[in-house]
Amino acid sequence: DGGITQSPKYLFRKEGQNVTLSCEQNLNHDAMYWYRQDPGQGLRLIYYSQIVNDFQKGDIAEGYSVSREKKESFPLTVTSAQKNPTAFYLCASRDRERLTQYFGPGTRLLVL
Amino acid sequence: DAKTTQPPSMDCAEGRAANLPCNHSTISGNEYVYWYRQIHSQGPQYIIHGLKNNETNEMASLIITEDRKSSTLILPHATLRDTAVYYCIGGSNYKLTFGKGTLLTVNP
């Protein structure tokens, strides 16, 4: 069953704590993306990676970090420097042939 | 990326065609028009995209005006499960910029 998986579905963070959101894809896509969505808003790009061991900042990268050690995986760390981390986080990968991005089910992060 | 303008909300009767408009007057010649939809608390779902020509797939049809300044997404026979926020995006496939979209409510 091919697709994009994100875990966990819900994540709780304490003040001052770093948390890592998982994103895995078995679609053999080169490019992967992280977006953030706040209530009633569209998606905003945090980071993207077009190839293994390379990634670029998106529009709202401050307070976040990523790694891309494997083609299948693109984890996002929400650091303590992100002052307003409560949001819905979405991972996507790009099909270069079909010129489209496909999204995972999302992780909802809540701050305790 | 091209700036897009969509109505904030629309209603449609179940079984009827839903026509969702989008203005993208600043779109450049090599930018595609993408449509995605998002059902509450789920990841966006790709619907269709096009460059110049009209496109049709199993989900919808996309009509792009000749000057490429606007487009219409057509769901031919809307069902209750089509209730979602629909996003029109003008841009390259490697970077998508999502606006607030149109909330389509399909009524029984």
Query: How does pLDDT run across A19-70, given as a tens digit for each residue?
Result: 999 999 999 999 999 999 998 888 999 999 999 999 999 999 999 999 999 9
From the list B87, B80, B76, the residue with the least C-alpha distance to B105 is B80
Phi (first) and psi of residue A37, to 5 degrees: -130, 125
Residue B43 binned pLDDT confidence (cut-offs 50, 70, 90): very high
* In contact, B88 and B101? CB cutoff 8 Å: yes
Chain B residues with beta carbon closer than 8 angstroms to that of A41: 100
pLDDT tens track for B46-94: 999 999 989 999 999 999 999 999 999 999 999 999 999 999 998 876 7
Rounded CA gap, A34 and A56, in Å?
11
The alpha carbon of A82 is separated from its chain's Cα centroid by a whole number of angstroms, namely 14
Task: Please judge whether B43 and A41 are an interchain contact, meaning their C-beta atoms are less than 8 angstroms apart.
Answer: no
* In contact, B44 and B37? CB cutoff 8 Å: yes
Tokens (6 digits) for A30: 């080169």
> Best of A54, A103, A110 to disrupt the B interface by mutation (most B CBs within 10 Å)?
A103
Chain A residues with beta carbon closer than 8 angstroms to that of B9: none
From the list B95, B81, B92, the residue with the least C-alpha distance to B18 is B81
pLDDT at position A1 over 60: no
